[in-house]
Amino acid sequence: MPRSPLVIGVDSSTQSTKAAVTDAATGELLAVGRAPHRVTGDGGARESDPEEWWTALGEAVGAALAEAGADPSAVTGIAVAGQQHGLVVLDGAGRPLRPAMLWNDTRSAPQATALTDALGGPASWTARAGSVPVASITATKWQWLRENEPAVTKAAAAVRLPHDFLTERLCGEAVTDPGDASGTGWYATATGGYDPVLLDLLHLDEPLLPAVAATGGARAGSLTAAAADALGLPSGIAVAAGTGDNMSAAVGLGLGGQGLLDHPVLSLGTSGTVFAATTTRPDSVALNGFAAADGSYLPLGCTLNCTLAVDKVAQLLGLDREEAVPGGEAVVLPYLDGERTPDLPTAAGLLTGIRHDTTPQQLLGAAYEGAAFTVLRALDEVLRACGLDPAAPEVAARPLRLIGGGAQGRAWTSTVRRLSGRAVIVPRSGELVALGAAALAASAATGEDPVGLATAWGTGAGPELEPVERDGEAWERVASVLDRATPALLT
């Protein structure tokens, strides 16, 4: 009986690498291998050694193959989906000149403001790049490095995103994709290529950057002999261009030009994001107007503080994360690492509204409400970026797809349902980033459309939870505190 071809989808995130061994014909997830990353830094700094990502990738692939009991010779393709925006600066031998500055490193907030002004304001940036610079965007980190570590930028032989770095290690080719490239601040979604005006503003030479493939599922190259030895895989198999983690999750959900469009997704992980796939190019200063991995677009709002911030509050209170109840009069803005949407990079957490009868469980519930509110507030803007009226009944009736680690938690799911008043679909698979990458790998190996593959696999399917009555009082309570506190948080 002929064996089914296998593909490997890699999710290289902030905290760890996951490798998903997947049946290329059915999308069945056979096994997931995991390996951790270290994140270091204080006072807004968040850094990791890219060499640890490569080591973790090898460990995760080996663990997944062993758990699946899979024959490595059956693997036909591999793709990497990586944490967005990280800045990797390499020497001529492809080795990091310093640790990578991660997406949640907020030191470059002053550079973000200066770059915004230098181009003529937010509208000028969205017209070109699709996004306004904030501390998360790669361009601001490059500018910070130019100003603070000029010897490093002068010595740079290559500039990469995290997923670019790993893809190049796999196939020896410097290749990225439009989705992840659109989060750099030097790629123009308006033209589909690197923007010479932005590169000039950043004093960044285009030859330092990887080539941009047509899509994340395009074949970037073949697995080199050295990489094959490191991973225990056959040399010569297809290596896809890959993409960013949010773009890969969209593929895994079957969102894009060949699948569902304009259906909002809320991802609850280290960061909280809300996005939707659309064929309409986003033009909103309040959002990131990203490209998608399949050639469509992915308007996205992103917060820095999501599951880790709420877990920290639970730890401080000595509670299990599921012991939360609605916050009552208490309001918590859990901006423990600054914030991205809204753009408050120097903000700290805020707690108000405590009474004698306020319980620890209510304080934890208020932290959930503050985190969920922050990302849900961007939902209407995402829908407008798709050319939709958020108040239209047919738009409001579209269920919210809930993904990420938080989607598996009762407290997160109930808080999102209560604050949004929307129906919620929780996909059965909890590894949508890795499965999206697996679809990109299968696309590189076969030439098939990755969104169509994921749709046929059914990786985004799951039960639909009916809407509950929206808690307008909790929503307005958090909104009022945030609006009044923003001037103070900005300082």
Q: Which residues are annotated as a binding site for substrate?
A: 84-85
Q: Which of 11, 164, 195, 245 is catalytic?
A: 245
Is the peptide bond preceding residue 50 cis, with omega within 30 degrees of 0? no
Bridge partner list, 403? 267
Q: Alpha-carbon distance 366 to 327, whole Å?
A: 4
- φ and ψ of 160, to 5 deg: -135, 160
Q: Alpha-carbon distance 414 to 325, whole Å?
A: 10
Listed in sequence order, the residues at least 6 apart from 308 whose beta carbon sits closer than 8 Å to its beta carbon are 270
Q: Alpha-carbon distance 347 to 359, whole Å?
A: 25
Exposed e or buried b for every residue in 24-33, given b needs 16+ CB within 10 A? beebebbbbb
Q: Alpha-carbon distance 424 to 445, whole Å?
A: 34
Whether 343 is catalytic = no
Q: Comparing C-alpha atoms, which of 209, 198, 205, 204 is closest to residue 116?
A: 198
Exposed e or buried b for every residue in 174-184, given b needs 16+ CB within 10 A? bbbbbbbbbbb
Note whether 302 and 271 are within 8 A (CB): yes
Angle at which helix 410-420 crosses helix 472-490, to 10 degrees, equals 100
Q: Alpha-carbon distance 293 to 469, whole Å?
A: 36
Listed in sequence order, the residues at least 6 apart from 178 whose beta carbon sits closer than 8 Å to its beta carbon are 187, 189, 192, 212, 213, 214, 215, 216, 291, 292, 293, 295
- Please name the residue that has the structure tokens 């890959």: 242
Extract the annotated binding site: 84-85
Note whether 422 and 467 are within 8 A (CB): yes
Note whether 189 and 281 are within 8 A (CB): yes
Note whether 3 and 74 are within 8 A (CB): yes
Q: Alpha-carbon distance 318 to 384, whole Å?
A: 41
At 466, the amino acid letter reads: E
Q: Where are the alpha helices (DSSP H) in 233-318?
A: 245-252, 307-317
Listed in sequence order, the residues at least 6 apart from 300 whose beta carbon sits closer than 8 Å to its beta carbon are 246, 273, 274, 275, 287, 288, 290, 382
Q: Comparing C-alpha atoms, which of 333, 237, 304, 207 is closest to residue 6?
A: 237
Please give the positions annotated as active site.
245
